[in-house]
Structure 1
């Protein structure tokens, strides 16, 4: 049974699940607004329409690229403890499969997502039964959380978020260069109630999700950034008059896409080498809920 590896694996799951299920960004941390102003404050209705169209179209344009290299950096603050993780790999934007190396708490974990199943392997540490890999059915986990699992393995297929954006929700912030590529940065607010599983997500996240997206000159996503507070476990469903202390974690995530069209070779490990941890994750989720 893994100890440090299990904790690191849990953080890696949080990084992947957080970015996929929320697909949103924070309101700070980036530069590049023209003349330090807020362009959206004075933009005409026509300009706002163009901004909204650009942001909505970016998800489809990114998916049309079929594949890309991806990095994902996550920071989680909970119970007075901070854990960071960083993942690097390639992503199939059409199928949602991916191959990544995730580093968390000083450990590197080999990670694959194939057909909605998350596989993880920590070198030198065995899963239950002495097997090198653990497997988690992401679609089942999403279903327990009240979230539509379709496309859960693919951050680019988050069209539901784009559909929940109105013209009043998009502000062009400015321009910024990312890895030598010119991009336009937008600040977006998404109505959580309009998302799949919105009722439950609203209890955990609040009424809106603040996003930031960076779109290149070809209309593709280059970066998504998130910084939000998540109410966890019983606190998400507790009544206001119970006096229960809220349980919260703060999660910051930055995803970047590059090298569109990169080859993705994502294959599931042999079944005999995988310990299925889905039931354990579902039980833990049920106790928290």
Structure 2
């Protein structure tokens, strides 16, 4: 994998494909954060939490890589589906190798230099080849975002530096995979995210994000909850009797363990890959 040469990048991972390109932001340093009787101690605790979240990108970046477990629960019209994933991720450049399972189907996924490769169950990939390929940079460009925004941790890190004391609240402690962590809730200003104006129309002005941080200031768990208006609902006439917005709720939880583990992300042989970038761009135009 190619390195960016910037060791102070971290904690953003473009999880594309079946996981809808979830962009993860946040993490932090373990702060005291316990509320005191006085306003001064309460303010001090809140400031500690804010510093923790701001500094966590750098602290986690120092570990370079990690194993990751992912759970995405999607609910709409009274029904829900859950996708699970596990694998390894390069916290510096966003490369990853994962196995995803949804509705009993297993998908192998790799992200290499901002290109997504997926291997669906046998016989389900278009083009008669086992792998499909989507250039995430071209998809991001169509959406009007910086071509790095889907996988460049520096984009998210820049946002983290702008978090203020009113955005961060300490929620308590928890043990995750045998590690004691401190739980913070962060209110994410959607306008500060890549393509924020468009995203704001779909999910609203803010997103609730929870992070669990170990005593070394590294992120161990991150959870993001989104309520998304479907494009069809957004485009309906307000006079339509059936124009009540249809919504999809998505909860994404990602756990990080085994920092420093080896990541080997290799491109599939070219003869086994069907390029689906054009199809993805075509679908993107229909939704816009």
**TM-score, length-scaled by structure 1:** 0.83
Shift of 1:44: 2.2
Kept in 1: contact 2:66–2:258 (CA 8 A): yes
Superposed, 1:254-265 pairs within 5 Å as 254-265=253-264
Partner of 1:185: 183
Shift of 1:23: 4.1
Superposed, 1:156-175 pairs within 5 Å as 158-175=156-173
Shift of 1:192: 1.2
TM-aligned CA distance change 1:23 to 1:241, over 3 Å: farther
Partner of 2:85: 87
Partner of 2:270: 271
Report Cα offsets for 1:3-42 as digits up to 9, x if no partner: xxxxxxxx97242512x2x5479xxxxxxxxxxxx95996
1:158 partner SS = helix
Partner of 2:280: 281
Give 5+ residue unaligned stretches, structure 2.
Answer: 1-14, 28-33
Number of equivalenced pairs: 266
Shift of 1:288: 1.8
Q: For 2:228 and 2:35, how far apart are their aligned partners in 1?
A: 30
Partner of 1:76: 74
Please, which of 136, 140, 143 is the counterpart of residue 142 of structure 1? Answer: 140
Instruction: Judge which range, 159-168 or 262-271, deviates more.
Output: 159-168
Superposed, 1:90-239 pairs within 5 Å as 90-150=88-148, 152-153=150-151, 158-236=156-234
Partner of 1:17: 21
Give 5+ residue unaligned stretches, structure 1.
Answer: 1-10, 26-37
Instruction: Judge which range, 201-210 or 231-240, deviates more.
Output: 231-240
TM-aligned CA distance change 1:81 to 1:156, over 3 Å: farther
Larger RCO: 1 or 2 (CA < 8 Å, sep 6+): 1
TM-aligned CA distance change 1:24 to 1:258, over 3 Å: same
TM-aligned CA distance change 1:96 to 1:12, over 3 Å: closer
**TM-score, length-scaled by structure 2:** 0.83
1:44 partner SS = helix
2:194 partner SS = coil
More helix by share: 1
